[in-house]
Amino acid sequence: MARLNIVQYGDPGLRKVTSRVIKFDKSLRKLVEDMFETMYASEGIGLAAPQIGVSKRVLVLDVDYPSKKYIDEKTNKEMPAYNPMVLVNPVIIQQEGEIVSKEGCLSFPGVYFDVLRHKKVAIRYQDLFGKERKMVVEDDLFCRCLQHEIDHLDGKLFVDKPADAAQMKKVLQEAGLGKINLPPPGILIG
């Protein structure tokens, strides 16, 4: 495994539409391992391949680590719970409702603001073995994180979906990112 650098805001790679995965081979497994190592090391809950410079439709997430805990039976100690998930070629096939909550992004360190998302989504994707799967998710952090990461695969970023544009502008300026382009081809804030 290898910990990789995370591509930061402003890099044009974050704005590309990524390519579908065709081969479910060893190199895909290596990519996914590296993405998990990079995400856990950065204390993220989700990471999309373009964030490590790979323009493919792959995302990993674990919204439980490290906030959820379990008690280890042998040592009686509280341990962080893992719930790693991999989605390849994910597509939102149904969506309904709207919900606002705070989001961050590993490509925008220290930046958090309210983002507008669907309340409920149905998703089609493939697992690491290429098997087609579906899921329906609603309301929670997992549902929000999935939408955030799927957006990355289409070159969309959370700065494209602020619930309150003035709040976002203030937060970006405080972080010294007042002049990032959003969305392409670009309304300049600041």
Instruction: Decide whether 176 or 185 has the Cβ nearer to ligand QAP.
Output: 176
Copy the structure tokens of residue 101. 């909550």
Residue 114's Cβ-count burial label (10 Å; 0-12, 13-18, 19+) is middle
The reply to whether 103 belongs to the active site is no
Under the binding rule (CB under 6 A), the answer on residue 106 touching ligand QAP is yes
* Residue 174 backbone zone (phi > 0: left; psi -120 to 50: alpha; other: beta): alpha
Under the binding rule (CB under 5 A), the answer on residue 105 touching Co ion is yes
107-146 mask for ligand QAP (x: CB under 6 A)?
--xxx-----------------------------x--xx-
Q: Are strands 181-182 and 187-188 parallel, antiparallel or unpaired?
A: antiparallel
Instruction: Decide whether 68 or 77 has the Cβ nearer to ligand QAP.
Output: 68
CB of 107 to ligand QAP, least distance (A): 9
- Count of Cβ atoms closer than 10 Å to residue 6 Cβ: 19
Interacting residues with ligand QAP (CB under 6 A): 42-46, 103-106, 109-111, 141, 144-145, 148
Catalytic residues: 149
